[in-house]
Amino acid sequence: MYLTREQEKMLRGDYGWATAKAMEIIVKVGEALGADELVEIVHAHVSGISYSTIGRYGLEFIRDLARGGGKARVFTTVNPGCIDYSGYSSIIDNSLFEFQRLIDEALRKMEFKPVYTCIPYFYRPPTPGEHLAWGESSAVIFANSVYGGFTNREGGPVALAAALTGYTYKAGLHVVENRVGEVEIRVCASTSSTHIGALGLWIGENIKSIPYVRGLNYYSLDDIKNLLASAAASGNHALIVIEGVTPRNTFKLDLVERVEVDAKMLEGYMGGECHGTSILGYIGCPHTSPRELLYITRLLKKYGKPRRGKLLVTMPAEFARIYRDLILELKAMGVDIAAGTCPVVSRFRGGFDCIITNSGKALFYLKRIYKTNIKLAGVEAIVRHLGGA
């Protein structure tokens, strides 16, 4: 692989142990993928910072890099941790606080921006063609598909290494020739935003090459966020070209197959029936946008406080401060607020007989982690159901 003089110095250890280790990881992964050179990035987003998911060896890895003098060379944001940073939640278990604190200290020492969210594009939306090194599968696919940013699904340690060096390997989706939509998916009018999570899960499981999706003109950006996150969970997609959304010149089309998807095909992906006495409604996977928070508030005013179960809403850590009035209003209406975390990367204090969520990604992971019944429903249907209407 060709390295510039500066990159060689980094690899040799002239910039310290942590930078050398980070460069070694990037070069090795790049060489394995056949990259000839590295590419300069403008934003790294580091996933895998929750103690609940990475455990003590992940903690040691991150702390070693911080102790070794690692510092962010580009704007760097971080994924959710395993504790509720707002202190409002009674559902999220904060018992791993001491371990999470050690990770958070190391991240701050490396000068990463502690946003603790899976929607880093809220803080810095990428521009088309910009090179990024993002972890977090839902953020990667959103950056590529909606903003036209160029990033691979970097694993947590590679995104971290890219943050410390300012570079990543030039391969995969950093090259426009590899961003080619091959399977046209027509979404039939019989589907609605209720099915959007299921549609994502269906795409992830059934389509292996880069899809080109048509028929999403009437879906909101929050729906598209849900669809993309779900497809990246059940499959390994990092880019779904969406007609009218994905910026021109950031992808190519060479369609070899065409598929139509209707609501009937998605029934098997909607989860099981919800039985039992302890029901949790969950919205915020990926984290809620301010627009979604306003929408939930409006729905609660319409259908009343959650009476038939609890309602958990998760969001970026800073939202608890920035949108304090709105958050307190939601709390007053009986909503459990958790900021800077989510049930996928943390643990519940107690168990639930059933979870109703709008997110296909949440269904995919929560079913496996908590081994409980999960059902997909639209945001309005969740609030209506819990309100007892």
Partner 1 sequence: MVHRGRVKPVIPGSCNGDVVLVDSYISFFAEVNPDTGCLVAPSELCFRDAVLVFRGTRGSTVAPYIIYALRRNNTAPRCILVAEAEPMLIAGCVLAEIPLYVVEDYEGLVTSIRLAKKSAYLEVRGNEVLLYERV
Kindly tell me which of 25 and 280 has the beta carbon lying closer to partner 1. Answer: 25
In the bound complex, what is the minimum distance in angstroms from residue 277's beta carbon to partner 1? 26
Where helices occur in the chain by DSSP H, the ranges are 5-12, 17-32, 51-67, 97-109, 137-142, 156-165, 196-206, 221-234, 290-303, 319-322, 324-332, 360-370, 379-387
In the window 100-139, what residues touch partner 1 (CB under 8 A)? 135-137
**Dihedrals φ, ψ of 154, to 5°?**
-75, 135
Q: Could you give the angle at which helices 196-206 and 221-234 cross, rounded to 10 degrees?
A: 30
Binding status of residue 81 toward partner 1 by CB under 8 A:
no
Binding status of residue 28 toward partner 1 by CB under 8 A:
yes
In the bound complex, what is the minimum distance in angstroms from residue 357's beta carbon to partner 1? 15
Binding status of residue 54 toward partner 1 by CB under 8 A:
yes
CB neighbours (10 Å) of residue 215?
16
In the bound complex, what is the minimum distance in angstroms from residue 222's beta carbon to partner 1? 21
My answer on whether omega of the bond before 126 falls inside 30° of 0, hence cis, is no
In the bound complex, what is the minimum distance in angstroms from residue 111's beta carbon to partner 1? 21
b/e burial code for range 274-300 (CB count within 10 A of at least 16 → b): beeeebbbbbbbbbbbeebbebbbebb
**Region of residue 233 (left: phi > 0; alpha: psi -120 to 50; beta: else):** alpha
By CB under 8 A, name the one of 57, 244, 248, 273 that touches partner 1.
57
CB neighbours (10 Å) of residue 323?
19
Binding status of residue 140 toward partner 1 by CB under 8 A:
yes
Binding status of residue 233 toward partner 1 by CB under 8 A:
yes
In the window 148-167, what residues touch partner 1 (CB under 8 A)? 152-159
Interaction mask 343-372, partner 1, x per CB under 8 A: ---------------------xx--xx---
Size of the site for partner 1 (CB under 8 A): 38
Binding status of residue 43 toward partner 1 by CB under 8 A:
no
Please name the helix (run of DSSP H) or strand (run of DSSP E) that holds residue 266, with its range, or none.
none
Summarize as ranges the residues that interact with partner 1 (CB under 8 A): 25, 28-29, 32-33, 47-48, 50, 53-55, 57-58, 61, 135-137, 140, 152-159, 171-172, 204, 232-236, 364-365, 368-369
